A and B are shown apart, each in its own frame.
Chain A
Amino acid sequence: MAMQNELVKSLAKKPATLLYPFEKYDSIPGSRGKVVIDITKCIGCGLCIRDCPAFALEMVGKGPTCDMKWYITRCVFCGQCVETCPRSAIIQETTYDLAGAEKAALVIEYKRPKSS
Chain B
Amino acid sequence: MKNLSENTFSVPFGPQHPALKEPENFMFTVDGERVVDVKIRLGYVHRGGEKAFEARTYTQGLYLVERICGICAMAHQLCYVNNVEALIDIEIPRRADYIRTIIAELERIHSHLLWVGVAGHEVGWDTLFMYAWRDREVVLDLMELTTGNRVLHASNTIGGVRRDLTSEMISRIRKGMKLLKERTNYYKAMIPKERTLMKRAVGVGVLKPQDAVALCAVGPTLRASGIKRDVRRDDPYSAYDETPFDVITYDGCDVASRVLVRVDEILESIKILNYALEHLPSGPIAVRLPRGVPAGENVSMVEAPRGEDIHYLKSNGTDKPERYKVRAPTLANWPAVGAMIKGGYIADIPIVLAAIDPCMSCTDRMTFTEVNSAKSWQWSRDELRRYSLKWRGK
Q: Which of A24-32, A35-43, A59-67 contacts B (4 or more CB under 8 A)?
A: A24-32
Q: Give the distance in Å from the alpha carbon of A31 to the alpha carbon of B154 in the complex.
A: 12
Q: Which one, B67, B131, B148, B157, contacts A32 given CB within 8 A?
A: B148
Question: Which partner residue on chain A sits nearest B196 by CB separation?
Answer: A2
- A16-B134, A51-B57, A80-B63 known; A28 vs B149 contact (CB < 8 Å): no
- A3-B127, A30-B145, A31-B144 known; A76 vs B152 contact (CB < 8 Å): yes
- What residues of chain A lie closer than 8 Å to B154, measured between beta carbons? 32, 78-80
A50 touches B57 (CB 8 A): yes
B145 touches A28 (CB 8 A): yes
| B381 contacts the other chain (CB 8 A) | no
Q: Give the distance in Å from the alpha carbon of A83 to the alpha carbon of B152 in the complex.
A: 17
| B247 contacts the other chain (CB 8 A) | no
Interface residues on B, range: 20 to 34
| B356 contacts the other chain (CB 8 A) | no
B63 touches A76 (CB 8 A): yes
Distance in Å: Cβ of B123 to nearest Cβ of chain A: 14
Distance in Å: Cβ of B87 to nearest Cβ of chain A: 19
B190 touches A79 (CB 8 A): no
- What residues of chain B lie closer than 8 Å to A6, measured between beta carbons? 131, 186
- What residues of chain A lie closer than 8 Å to B63, measured between beta carbons? 53-54, 76, 78, 80
- What residues of chain A lie closer than 8 Å to B67, measured between beta carbons? 76
- What residues of chain B lie closer than 8 Å to A52, measured between beta carbons? 60
| A110 contacts the other chain (CB 8 A) | no
| A77 contacts the other chain (CB 8 A) | yes
| B234 contacts the other chain (CB 8 A) | no
| B235 contacts the other chain (CB 8 A) | no
Q: Give the distance in Å from the alpha carbon of A54 to the alpha carbon of B64 in the complex.
A: 9
- What residues of chain B lie closer than 8 Å to A78, measured between beta carbons? 62-63, 152, 154
B163 touches A30 (CB 8 A): yes
Q: Which one, B64, B134, B141, B190, contacts A53 given CB within 8 A?
A: B64
A2 touches B190 (CB 8 A): yes
Interface centre among B56, B144, B190 (most CB of A within 10 A): B144
B149 touches A53 (CB 8 A): no
| B59 contacts the other chain (CB 8 A) | yes
Q: Contact mask B315-347 → A, CB, 8 Å, 1/0?
A: 000000000000000000000000000000000
Q: Give the distance in Å from the alpha carbon of A52 to the alpha carbon of B59 in the complex.
A: 8
- What residues of chain B lie closer than 8 Å to A2, measured between beta carbons? 190, 193-194
Q: Which one, B61, B148, B190, contacts A30 given CB within 8 A?
A: B148
Interface of chain B residues 126 through 155 with chain A (CB within 8 A): 127-128, 131, 134, 137, 141, 144-145, 148-149, 152, 154
- What residues of chain A lie closer than 8 Å to B386, measured between beta carbons? none
- What residues of chain B lie closer than 8 Å to A3, measured between beta carbons? 127-128, 131, 190, 194
Q: Give the distance in Å from the alpha carbon of A15 to the alpha carbon of B64 in the complex.
A: 36
| B162 contacts the other chain (CB 8 A) | yes
Question: Which partner residue on chain A sits nearest B56 by CB separation?
Answer: A53
Q: Give the distance in Å from the alpha carbon of A76 to the alpha carbon of B127 in the complex.
A: 33
Q: Give the distance in Å from the alpha carbon of A53 to the alpha carbon of B194 in the complex.
A: 47
A16 touches B149 (CB 8 A): no
Question: Which partner residue on chain A sits nearest B141 by CB separation?
Answer: A28
Distance in Å: Cβ of B80 to nearest Cβ of chain A: 12
- What residues of chain A lie closer than 8 Å to B57, measured between beta carbons? 50-51
Distance in Å: Cβ of A25 to nearest Cβ of chain B: 10
Q: Give the distance in Å from the alpha carbon of A77 to the alpha carbon of B154 in the complex.
A: 9
- What residues of chain A lie closer than 8 Å to B157, measured between beta carbons? 83
A contact set with B: CB distance below 8 Å: 2-3, 6-7, 16, 28-32, 50-54, 76-80, 83, 92
Nearest 5 pairs between A and B by C-beta? A32-B148, A53-B63, A53-B60, A78-B154, A2-B190
B contact set with A: CB distance below 8 Å: 56-57, 59-64, 67, 127-128, 131, 134, 137, 141, 144-145, 148-149, 152, 154, 157, 162-163, 186, 190, 193-194
Q: A16-B134, A53-B62 are in contact. List 13 more A-B contacts (CB 8 A).
A: A2-B193, A3-B127, A3-B131, A7-B127, A28-B141, A30-B144, A31-B144, A31-B149, A51-B59, A53-B56, A53-B63, A77-B149, A80-B62
